[in-house]
Amino acid sequence: MTEVKREVFGQMPKEEGGGVVEKFVLKSDNVKVEILSLGCIIAALEMKGRDGKFSDVVLGFDTLEGYTRKHPFFGAVVGRVANRIAKGRFTVNGKEYQLFLNNGPNSLHGGARGFDKVLWSPQVLPNGICFFRLSPDGEEGYPGDLKVWVTYTLSGRELAINYRAQTSKTTPINLTNHSYFNLAGQGSQDIYDHEISVEADFYLPVDDTKIPTGEVAAVQGTSFDLRQPVELGKHLQKFRLDGFDHNFCLQQVQARRLVARACHPPTGRAMEVHTTQPGIQFYTGNNLDGSLKGKSGVTYPKHSAFCLETQNWPDAVNKPHFPNVLLQPGKEYNHTTWLVFNAT
């Protein structure tokens, strides 16, 4: 049985439109998740280790103030389009759209005020919570009134995140959750002793602004071959890598499949990622720099967490040979990602 509780987490500042931010606590015997109505943010996720004790494995803040200041999308649902759009420009039905540039020359994770920075309307379910919002036509430069539902359900060791959307005009859409994980427990200094595997034969090389070049490259014989588990610290050293921030190309089938696994041998904590999405962005927290004070006042240095963001391929709206990212009126966007937490 999953227990669902709701409580007030804080009040949005007046300049952000005010409004009460609620926190929803989903709890099973093995996992406890805290989710905010601001940005559908996973603020805490506690799982058991080999010793049977719970530990919080996601980065974030103790108070609302942390989330209303600038931070790197900790735990949030990002959209309308997760990841990068080159030069913030795209054309749909012959009309060019220009988005806000918030990542060098590109638009990232929905723009200046994306889905991560707004309040969502919650509905409590027997085993979870469904958030809804209407993104109005023209919001952040995107076409169409977009209705979006994000549903979190917890069942035993499994957290499911379902994303649905409907639009009044053709629009690009690509939703993901941007949680930063450290299975040693949030606040641990690095992820070098984690073992990671990603079920992908191909990845997307990127230019120096992190936009895919258009090539779909084989992982075979490269540092991107993560089909067998690698110990992250040793792997980065071996290939002299600064870290990962790349899309791995998954099988093009819209059915649930296992796509990635992370485990932390010292504690026995392990996490599997299953999804219906065509890609997964593996990011090793390269831009964390210790300047943010997180939960319990700890700082988050470089490589102190990883993200496994299930999503469409970056800049797909400008690359016709990438999986389709356009949602048409009368159709529904519907994807699910399942995170399964185990102790070994």
- On the question of pLDDT at 25 being above 90, the answer is yes
212-218: average pLDDT: 98
Is residue 178 marked as binding? yes
**Chain mean position to CA 224:** 20
pLDDT of residue 245: 97
pLDDT of residue 87: 97
pLDDT of residue 62: 97
Range of the domain at 214: 3-343
- On the question of pLDDT at 100 being above 90, the answer is yes
- On the question of pLDDT at 254 being above 90, the answer is no
Is residue 180 marked as binding? yes
Is residue 303 marked as binding? no
Three-state SS string over the chain comes to: CCEEEEEEEEECCHHHCCCEEEEEEEECCCEEEEEECECCCEEEEEEECCCCCEEECECCCCCHHHHHCCCCCCCCEECCECCEEHHHEEEECCEEEECCCCECCEEECCCCCCHHHCECEEEEECCEEEEEEEECCCHHHCCCCEEEEEEEEEECCEEEEEEEEEECCCEECECEECCCECCCCCCCCCCCCCEEEECCCEECCECCCCCECCCCEECCCCCCCCCCCEEHHHHHHHCCCCCCEEEEECCCCCCCEEEEEEEECCCCEEEEEEECCCEEEEECCCCCCCCCECHHHCECCCCCCEEEEEECCCCHHHCCCCCCCEECCCCCEEEEEEEEEEEC
pLDDT of residue 167: 98
pLDDT tens digit sequence for 144-177: 999 999 999 999 999 999 999 999 999 999 999 9
203-217: average pLDDT: 97
pLDDT of residue 77: 98
- Both tokens of 113, joined, read 């005020």
pLDDT of residue 321: 97
- On the question of pLDDT at 277 being above 90, the answer is yes
pLDDT > 70: what percent of the chain? 100
- When divided into structural domains, the chain yields a total of 1
| Band (253; pLDDT cuts 50, 70, 90) | confident
pLDDT tens digit sequence for 7-23: 999 999 998 889 999 99
pLDDT of residue 95: 97
pLDDT tens digit sequence for 35-83: 999 999 999 999 999 999 999 999 999 999 999 999 999 999 999 999 9
Query: What's 143's domain CATH number?
Result: 2.70.98.10
d(CA 39, CA 198): 27
Is the overall model pTM greater than 0.95, yes or no? yes
- On the question of pLDDT at 316 being above 90, the answer is yes
pLDDT of residue 17: 85
| Band (219; pLDDT cuts 50, 70, 90) | very high
**Average pLDDT of the chain, as a whole number:** 97
Is residue 174 marked as binding? no
pLDDT tens digit sequence for 171-188: 999 999 999 999 999 999
Best CA proximity match to 241, nearest among 250, 249, 232, 252 = 232
230-245: average pLDDT: 98
Is residue 84 marked as binding? yes
Active site residues: 178, 309
